[in-house]
Structures are given as C-alpha cells and as structure tokens.
Amino acid sequence: MLLGELRNACASFSYEQMVVDNEYLEKAGKMIALDCYEALTERKLAEMGREVPEDVNFRSVSRTYMELADIVFTDLRDTSAHCFNFPSDALREKAAGILKLICDLVQYSAVHLSMDSDMCPSQYRGWASKLLSRCEVASKYIEYDGKCEAYTKQMERLSELVSRAERDGRLTDLQSARNRRYLAENQKIIAWGRSNVEKLNLQLELCDPYDMTQRRYLMELINTTNGWLDGFERDH
C-alpha cells in the first residue's frame, strides 16, 4: 500500500497496521510499529538510509522520510486535541516524543537528498516549512495550559532544521546541479520552444497593427509558450 493511500485511508491509524511492500518502507514501518519513539534514535535512522539504495522507480529514501513525517504528524495532531481537552504532563511528554521522531525524519531526509533522489532540495525545503507550520499550530493546543521543556526543545530543533535547510549551501548547490542537468536533458525541446517564440514574435511584427483580434491571439500564444518554457528552468 502506498503511503499516500495509507494516509488517506487511515486518518487515525495505529502503527501496527502500517504494512508496506517496499523494502525500506517496510523497515521504517517496523521501526515505527515499536510504538516507542525513544527507540528511533538518529543513529538508527542514519543506518537505515545507508542500508537501502535509492529506488527511483518507487520512492527515494528522502521522500520516504518526509512522507513518514507527515503520517507521524497525524499522531501529533490527535495528541494535541487530547491535550487541549485533557491537559496533562504525560500527554505533553508523549507529544515531545512524537515531535522528536518528526525532527529525526526531517533531518535525515535532507541527508539522503542526491542527484538521483526523486525529491529535489526545493521540494524538501517547501515540505519541511509546511510541516513546521502545522507543528506550530499543534503546539498552541499542546502548550496552552502549560509548557513542556522537552516539547519546546524539539520545536526549537525543528525550527532550526528548517532554517538550516534554507541556508544550506550543499542543498543550494545540489539544486543548481539538478537544474543544469534538467536543462541539458531537455535542451532539444527547449530549443524547439524558443524557436516557436521567435517565429510568433516575427508574425506579431508583421501583423496588421489594426487587427487586434489576430494580435491578441499571437500575444496569447507567445505568453503561453514562454510560460511553458519557464517550467523547464529548474528541476521541480
């Protein structure tokens, strides 16, 4: 079962039900199925990523970690609701443990970004930023009746991970390299598109200046083609 299908089918799932067919996803599912967040140490996440090669036909390790982080967030969201209705130190400690796992997944997703991963750095940055925003919303419910030092520490860590990703030179260089390769792989179709824009511009110059219908039509074609070409400027 794909992670996306699992997420849609099980808004409130138990980790024991997470069964996936892909090898490294299965490993991740088994780790999470322990229902013991403390056992998911950074060392284990790092080793799991090294053990499993990138699978460009399905999911790369980096994308897998971010999808798992999204799934684990559903548990944080549910815990935040319980904490709002029945505030307790125990629930806040549980939320801190869940958030630690999310932080670990976000951290090691960045580590496994590469030229061959099906997630590029710009996607990772956007995904991590949205995840941080969602966690910040959950925090308002978790800590409205009292602060939890462990939870606050993990929120600060997640915020720092997202900030670090935005200014990480390695990710910026990697994105640039992927963009260059993407442009090189599509240079023929890009050249064809640019040639068409030149022809359309020539037609526009030769068009009767009073034929507004034809001129508007040509302008729409030029703008559409330029917009289409913009999509080839970088790897998405």
Contact 158, 98 (CB under 8 A): no
DSSP character string of 57-98: TS--HHHHHHHHHHHHHHHHHHHHHHHHHS--HHHHHHHHHH
Residue 49 class from Cβ within 10 Å (0-12 exposed, 13-18 middle, 19+ buried)?
buried
Contact 37, 15 (CB under 8 A): no
Query: What does the block give as tokens for 65?
Result: 């970690």
Q: What is the pTM of this model?
A: 0.63
Contact 182, 235 (CB under 8 A): yes
| Total number of residues shown for the chain | 236
Quick one: DSSP state of residue 39?
G
236 residues of the chain, pLDDT tens digit each: 334 443 444 333 333 333 333 444 454 555 444 433 444 444 455 555 444 444 433 456 788 888 888 888 888 888 888 888 888 888 888 888 889 889 988 998 898 898 888 889 999 999 999 999 999 999 888 877 778 888 899 999 999 999 999 999 999 999 999 988 888 877 878 788 888 899 989 998 888 888 888 889 889 889 988 888 887 666 65
Instruction: Say how far apart CA 226 and CA 149 lie, in whole Å.
Output: 52
CA-nearest of 52, 48, 64, 173 to 121 is 173
Instruction: Say how far apart CA 226 and CA 181 lie, in whole Å.
Output: 20
Q: What is the pLDDT of residues 46-59, one digit of tens each?
A: 555 444 444 433 45
Residue type, 218: L
- At 47 the pLDDT is 53
Number of Cβ within 10 Å of residue 214's Cβ equals 13
The alpha carbon of 234 is separated from its chain's Cα centroid by a whole number of angstroms, namely: 17
